[in-house]
Amino acid sequence: MEKAKISVIQLFAMMFLFDLGSAIVVSYGIGAKKDAWLAILLGMCGGIAVFFIYYALFRQYPNLPLTGYVRKIFGKYVGWIIGLLYVIFFLYQAARGLRDFGDLLLASTMTSTPLLALNILMVLAICYVLYLGIEVFGRTTEVFIVILIFFGLAGNLLLYFSGSVDLHNLQPFLENGWKSILTTAFPLTTLFPFGEMIAFTMLLPYLNRPELAKKVWLSAVISSGLILSYTTSLDIAVLGVETVEKSTFPLLSTVGKINLFDFIQRLDVIVVFTFLITMFFKISILFYSAVIGIVDLFKVKNHQQIVLPMGVILLFLSMMIASNFAEHIEEGLDIIMYPLNLPFIVVIPLFMLLVALIRNGFKKKNRSKSNVT
């Protein structure tokens, strides 16, 4: 692995931007209708529960990434295969994020631009930053999280001053009961995006103060969860639940309602920049997790020599996973959620933790016995 360290603030910024990702601009949690905000908060709680599995594993093996301790837990050969499957999983998720980026940008603003051109530019930018290393990437997140907060505050103030927010659109509470809320929260809003933070199990060994890992992770999950819940509520309050359900990019339509003195309007650029920033960092983190997984499994001396070749694979995957955006979304919601996301994000890590606790428990007993004798 790369000989580098990242600070607590940098890790928080990475996690915060990662969680926002595409969730902040799409109709996230809208399966719960007007109570989407509640489904997101419950999903955040589910994400916190999943985090404690990852954190328990990190406590057992603080100096190893996921691909390292999976071999300690399951043995050299079985662990290596599972580690490789996780690398493929991270790369596939990065490809899905890249496809989200390209398709949503095409649908919203750059309608005449080829999808391949947009994805190539994004991959080149990601490869360049990751070639420079995780420390440079961490410092970049510190800069862009400030820009993102400025965009968010400015957009919200202008929207409220425009008088476009109607809180009656969020009423009545629990109009469709608890069933739609719970089925949306588990597994959808739990696994996306909070469960996808399993990618950070590859980055935690870089943290310069590992004792603060729990505080950083939880604060990132809670703050991003609250922002996502608020943003979805704002979309519904401005547009109405029916419009948000039909919209691919509801935040763009929400910000499009800003109109002050018939002069300050058409501020779609705020949303596009927000989307560019959050998706750049989300794809980069998933991709980097796959890269250092390959470095760890295949004992590659330097991550820099495989960044560009894996970038080409990422680009190819993003173009091949679906023939159009509708198919891509259907695949994400109906096909990969249970057979792919649930096992890799919850089931396998939980099984790993149980095996690790049992094995380490036996080791402690054997040591205590040998000390007594």
The residue length of the chain stands at 373
Q: pLDDT by residue (tens digit) across 117-142? A: 999 999 999 999 999 999 999 999 99
Q: Phi and psi for 260 in degrees, rounded to 5?
A: -115, 120
Which pLDDT score, from 0 to 100, does residue 52 have? 96
Which pLDDT score, from 0 to 100, does residue 1 have? 62
Q: Which helix (H) or strand (E) holds 260?
A: strand 259-260
List Cβ neighbours of 328 (8 Å cut-off, separation of 6 or more). 96, 99, 100, 103, 321, 322
- 35-53 burial, b for 16+ CB within 10 Å, e for fewer? bbbbbbbbbbbbbbebbeb
207 - beta bridge partners? Answer: 6
Which pLDDT score, from 0 to 100, does residue 108 have? 78
CA-CA distance, 207 to 187, in Å (whole number)? 29
CA-CA distance, 247 to 119, in Å (whole number)? 23
Q: Which domains does the chain have, with CATH numbers?
A: 8-359 (1.10.4160.10)
Rounded mean pLDDT for each run of 10 residues along the chain, 373 residues in total: 86 97 90 94 96 95 94 94 97 94 85 92 96 94 95 91 90 88 91 95 94 96 97 94 90 88 80 93 97 94 93 95 82 80 95 91 71 60
In this structure, is the dihedral angle defined by the CA atoms of residues 246, 276, 86 and 317, taken in order, positive or negative? positive
CA-CA distance, 314 to 325, in Å (whole number)? 17
pTM of the model: 0.95
Which pLDDT score, from 0 to 100, does residue 142 have? 95
Cα–Cα distances (Å) from 28 to 24, 228, 234, in that order, read 7, 8, 12
CA-CA distance, 299 to 59, in Å (whole number)? 24
Which pLDDT score, from 0 to 100, does residue 368 have? 66
Which pLDDT score, from 0 to 100, does residue 18 have? 97
Tokens of residue 330, six digits: 């259907």
Give the pairing type, strands 259-260 and 264-265.
antiparallel
Q: Which helix (H) or strand (E) holds 264?
A: strand 264-265
In this structure, is the dihedral angle defined by the CA atoms of residues 40, 22, 344 and 127, taken in order, positive or negative? negative
